[in-house]
Chain A
Amino acid sequence: MEPKLNELSEAIKAGRRKEAKLATEELLAAGVAPEEVMSALSAGMDDVGRRFKANEIFVPEVLVAARAMQTSMNLLEPVLLSVGSEPEHTVVIGTVEGDLHDIGKNLVAMMVKAANFKVVDLGTNVSPDAFIAALREHRAAVIGLSALLTTTMPAMRRTVELIRESGVAVKVMVGGAPITQQFAQEIGADGYAPDAASAVDEAKRLIARTAA
Chain B
Amino acid sequence: MEPIMNSKQRVRAAVDRKSPDRIPIDFGSSFITGMHCSVVAGLRQHYGLEDTPVKVCEPYQMLGLIEEDLQQALGIDVQPIFPQRTIFGFPNENWKPWRTPWGQEVLVSEHFHAKADAKGDTYIHPKGDRSAPPSGHMPKTGYFFDTIERRDPNFDEDHLSLEDNLEEFALMNEEEADYWRQQAAQFRQCDRAISVHLNGTCLGDIALVPAPFLTHPKGVRGVADWYMTVASEPDFVMELFDRQTDIAVRNMQRLYDIAGDVIDVVVVCGTDFGTQASLFCGVPTVREIWLPRYQRINDWIHRNTHWRTFKHSCGAIEPLIDTFVDAGFDILNPVQCSAAGMDPNGLKAKYGDRITFWGGGVNTQETLPFGTPEQVRAEVLQRCEVFGSGGGFVFNAIHNVQALTPIKKCGGHD
A interface residues with partner B (beta carbon < 8 Å): 15, 55, 57-61, 63-64, 67, 97-101, 103, 106, 125, 149-152, 154-155, 177-178, 180, 194-195
Contacts and interface: CB of A to CB of B under 8 A. Distances in A.
B280 A178 contact: no
Nearest to A182: B366
A103 B146 contact: no
A62 B347 CA distance: 29
B100 interface: no
B231 interface: yes
B112 to A, nearest CB: 20
B185 interface: no
A175 B369 CA distance: 19
Contact of A64 (B139, B231, B276, B364): B231
Nearest to B229: A60
A150 B402 contact: yes
Contacts of B232: 15, 64
Interface in B127-142: 137, 139-142
B14 to A, nearest CB: 28
Contacts of A67: 228
10 nearest A-B residue pairs (beta carbon): A60-B231, A98-B141, A100-B146, A60-B227, A178-B365, A60-B230, A64-B231, A98-B139, A125-B139, A177-B276
Interface string B273-317: 001111111100100000000000000000000000000000000
Contacts of B404: 150-151, 154
Contacts of B278: 55, 58, 195
Interface in B166-222: none
Contact of B280 (A15, A58, A180): A58
Contacts, number: 79
Nearest to A57: B282
Given A98-B139, A100-B146, A60 B228 contact: yes
A64 B403 contact: no
A103 B223 contact: yes
A58 B232 CA distance: 13
B369 A150 contact: yes
Interface of B: 121, 137, 139-143, 146, 223-224, 227-228, 230-232, 275-282, 285, 364-366, 369, 402-404
Contact of B231 (A63, A101, A150, A177): A63
Contacts of B231: 15, 60-61, 63-64
Contacts of B280: 58-60
Contacts of A125: 121, 139
12 contacts: A55-B278, A55-B279, A59-B227, A59-B280, A60-B227, A60-B280, A61-B231, A63-B227, A98-B139, A149-B402, A151-B143, A151-B404
B227 A194 contact: no
Contacts of B403: 151
Contacts of B275: 59, 177, 195
B224 A63 contact: yes
A92 to B, nearest CB: 20
A150 B365 contact: yes
Most chain A C-beta atoms within 10 Å of own C-beta, residue among B137, B231, B365, B404 = B231
